[in-house]
Chain A
Amino acid sequence: GQQVMQIPQYQHVQEGEDFTTYCNSSTTLSNIQWYKQRPGGHPVFLIQLVKSGEVKKQKRLTFQFGEAKKNSSLHITATQTTDVGTYFCAGPWVTGGGNKLTFGTGTQLKVEL
């Protein structure tokens, strides 16, 4: 079946350091979404990428979609304690009309002062 893998599984950084998480799909994706889940909370939508090679920015967050539309990355510049949480990528299943999202395993980010 369709698989979406994320690396690393965990990342500890000092506040002010940069952070990157990578997402790789076993199949080509029509689009990819990113979500953030704070500790004890629920996933919250961050962004969606649709076009091959697309790059989008949200303040200190930069999202990229690979040229082959099988991988994506999220880069945070100068992390802050508010960035703590788990970041998930998600892509629609090839079957089922794209109405089922497969989530990656997530990258848990911890930021130390």
Chain B
Amino acid sequence: NAGVTQTPKFQVLKTGQSMTLQCAQDMNHEYMSWYRQDPGMGLRLIHYSVGAGITDQGEVPNGYNVSRSTTEDFPLRLLSAAPSQTSVYFCASSFLGQGGTNVLTFGAGSRLTVL
């Protein structure tokens, strides 16, 4: 099993450009999520999904779109990149637990720089 696979690992964008960060998991996890990690701020939840066709916002959703057409894939789209979106992005997945007992498996991360 590959686990959670993120692509690309590194990306440099200019302000205003768009791009999609890809995330795929082969563990049949219902739950998938995107976090961004910035120095001194820990991991902040951007969007999450509890199944195909279902998405919801996290703490910092502005500037990002997601969709979940299959169980395996959960892409994160930046429609018009801004320097404030320079960060390391992690995709994470888990089985759905009762009462919030999800244990997350993280991808290796995607480092994005917006100039």
> Per-residue CB proximity of A86-113 to B under 8 Å, as 1/0?
0010101100111111111110000000
C-alpha spacing A105/B100, complex, angstroms: 20
Q: Chain B: interface secondary structure? A: loop
Instruction: Kindly name the residue among B33, B41, B103, B105 whose own CB sees the greatest number of chain A CB atoms within 10 A.
Output: B103
Q: Which residues in window 32-64 of A have CB below 8 A to B?
A: 33, 35, 41-45, 48, 50
A80 at the interface (CB under 8 A from B): no
The reply to whether B58 and A103 form a contact with Cβ atoms under 8 Å apart is no
Which single member of B41, B58, B101 contacts A50 (CB below 8 Å)? B101
- How many A-B contacts are there with CB distance less than 8 Å? 72
The reply to whether B43 and A43 form a contact with Cβ atoms under 8 Å apart is yes
Interface size class of B (residues with CB under 8 A): 20 to 34
- In the assembled complex, how far is the CB of residue A99 from the closest CB belonging to chain B, in whole angstroms? 6
C-alpha spacing A106/B38, complex, angstroms: 11
Chain B contacts of A106 at CB under 8 A?
42
A27 at the interface (CB under 8 A from B): no
C-alpha spacing A33/B104, complex, angstroms: 10
- In the assembled complex, how far is the CB of residue B25 from the closest CB belonging to chain A, in whole angstroms? 13
Chain B contacts of A45 at CB under 8 A?
103-105
Q: Which residues in window 25-52 of B have CB below 8 A to A?
A: 31, 33, 35, 40-45, 48, 50
Chain B positions within 8 Å of A, measured between CB atoms, are: 31, 33, 35, 40-45, 48, 50, 56, 58-59, 90, 92, 96-97, 99-109
Given contacts A45-B104, A103-B35, 19 further A-B contacts (CB under 8 A): A9-B40, A30-B99, A30-B100, A31-B99, A35-B104, A42-B108, A42-B109, A43-B104, A45-B103, A48-B103, A50-B101, A88-B43, A90-B104, A93-B100, A96-B56, A101-B102, A103-B42, A103-B44, A105-B40
Chain A positions within 8 Å of B, measured between CB atoms, are: 1, 6, 9, 30-31, 33, 35, 41-45, 48, 50, 88, 90, 92-93, 96-106
Q: Could you show 6 A-B contacts with beta carbons less than 8 Å apart?
A: A31-B99, A31-B101, A42-B107, A45-B104, A98-B100, A103-B42
